[in-house]
A and B are shown apart, each in its own frame.
Chain A
């Protein structure tokens, strides 16, 4: 048994449905935000507009009051945690409990940013109630920005982030969406690029414009969202999404409209199975999905198009009214130990926030532990992007509320009309 490569073993012993795939079944929750009859109060935060030092003192006082409760409610995305013998057995969490005495109630109930935020977070926090989670994982972008604007996240205790500051990669330290890591620490990151089946396409894909090829008509998949789709299109027209202007957006929309007749469907998450089976030849794709399904279809490739591509980060954060904030804080720093990050990365296959994981995998190779498998992990640009890759990777455009309306009105009709 031990001779088999772990990825194969894993493929044999458990379903390799990607976590993004799992989200497809989300989005069906009943419409349920509480609406009052005469007006709906806004939820803009009062603003942490105290002076810098005063504010820091306040945070300091808040954390000084907190004690370890021995309990942590952790809400995450499906298949985003290492698993042991069974799918409910998570070695890195067990180790955490053993080391700290904190019991973790771990749930993978987040299927989509928008429904999760729209049903499980926003309505409760708007009414001043606890979400029931101490720790949740939110992608940078609209919803994280929303949480920040509304003051719905507890600022982190910077004195308990020693592992983070020692080991976090440049990508996730001081990110543009949360300067100084005041509110968040990264869980994992990923790239939105193009996944394709090289045997069906017939050649390597290098550019977003390869997705305008008439020969691929009806076999192209794109995403149905207002983050990855527009930001990728902005890359496609040669703009940098982060600094793009409404004029660029218009061009990006035209690019998408031009492509629309060739597109089979704008997918939420189901694209990866279609790519594996061959219903799609090429599709927008998330890096980790493609990498984890190469064992099912060896012809599958992932490319960061030459024009550039969006890179996103899923972030751990503590919502206000959390019951066990200190326990959450301890956990967040715990996963930044290279050893723990390696346990997670070994299963998750997205971009790990701890670069030292690479050395650990290389050590496994030298020790002769599944050398082929760990070499493939350690050399994968999808797990450890090279610095030359980073030059082409862009964060999502940060949008003000007004810009968001214009943006949505422009891009939503592409996939929904």
Chain B
């Protein structure tokens, strides 16, 4: 082959090289080194040595399965609520936004200009026992009904309950749900809906048969983008939660910084990662399409 032919053949690879390097340096190397740390033994003082000590994983699971399961539970509930709130928002912006679309999207992203720790902390102020939220609920005698629905404890306290933590998670991660759904809805050709109308579909049928299926890739991506960070979050549990709301992120942080137990922290991270990957894989097999994966990648 001539030099020119070689060049032609190699050019595409050369062009994706920066991407590969990026992945290798910022993802593969750290992941492999953490994986290696997770089977080391030792302590910070004398150093950690590779001993292929896999039982750190079983220890981690037996000691901390409660917060791990709780994190996944919170992740699922928060993601479901995000979808219920996020889909109509995305739909409204995409379909009714008109010339205000970019303004509305900007408003959606506006909270990101303030650190989410500060925003969560503000919720803590609003939700506390003498804060404005409980004040309003008391005024309208809503504490009783909310307690009846198992949303609030009887003493009318919001902070240090699962409701507060899940609420915080929904609040913080909602934009991650809205944006991918918006993108999917935005891409739908209006002519398709007109065609549905021509074929005697009413609005509900058109939504069910055309809009919804076409927006599913967006929903798929939204679920990924919401569920994964929500399950590994630790800020909301720290600020809004109490003794019974510890998430696995909190444990990892303590193991890493307070106990300097790097192998335990690493193995907990991989257990979480493993569960999330398996979950996502199954989810993709059941619900996903190629479109969906493409969408997730976009």
Contact = CB atoms under 8 A, between A and B. Distances in A.
A415 to B, nearest CB: 7
A226 B42 contact: no
A2 interface: no
A42 interface: yes
B42 A40 contact: yes
Given A115-B257, A218-B157, A37 B36 contact: yes
A130 B194 CA distance: 68
Contacts of B47: 39-43
Contacts, number: 107
B170 interface: no
A39 B262 CA distance: 11
A212 interface: no
Given A263-B243, A401-B43, A39 B49 contact: yes
Query: How many of chain A's residues touch chain B, expressed as a range?
Result: 35 or more
Given A278-B130, A408-B259, A42 B50 contact: no
A412 B254 CA distance: 9
Contacts of B117: 25, 28
Nearest to A415: B243
B253 interface: yes
Contacts of A24: 121, 239
A416 B36 contact: no
Contact of B33 (A36, A119, A265, A408): A36
B258 interface: yes
Interface in B124-149: 124, 128-130
Given A42-B45, A277-B129, A416 B50 contact: no
Contact of B48 (A40, A44, A119, A416): A40
Contacts of B46: 42, 44
A44 B45 CA distance: 5
Interface in A97-122: 114-115, 118-119, 122
17 contacts: A25-B118, A28-B235, A35-B34, A37-B33, A42-B43, A122-B260, A218-B157, A265-B242, A265-B243, A266-B243, A270-B124, A274-B128, A278-B130, A405-B43, A412-B254, A416-B251, A417-B66
Q: Which 5 A-B pairs have the closest CB atoms?
A: A42-B47, A265-B242, A118-B257, A42-B46, A40-B48
Given A31-B265, A226-B258, A417-B246, 10 more contacts: A31-B253, A39-B48, A42-B43, A42-B47, A43-B45, A260-B243, A264-B160, A265-B159, A274-B128, A416-B251
Interface of B: 29, 32-34, 36-37, 40, 42-50, 66-67, 117-118, 121, 124, 128-130, 155, 157, 159-160, 235, 238-239, 241-243, 246, 250-251, 253-254, 256-260, 262, 265
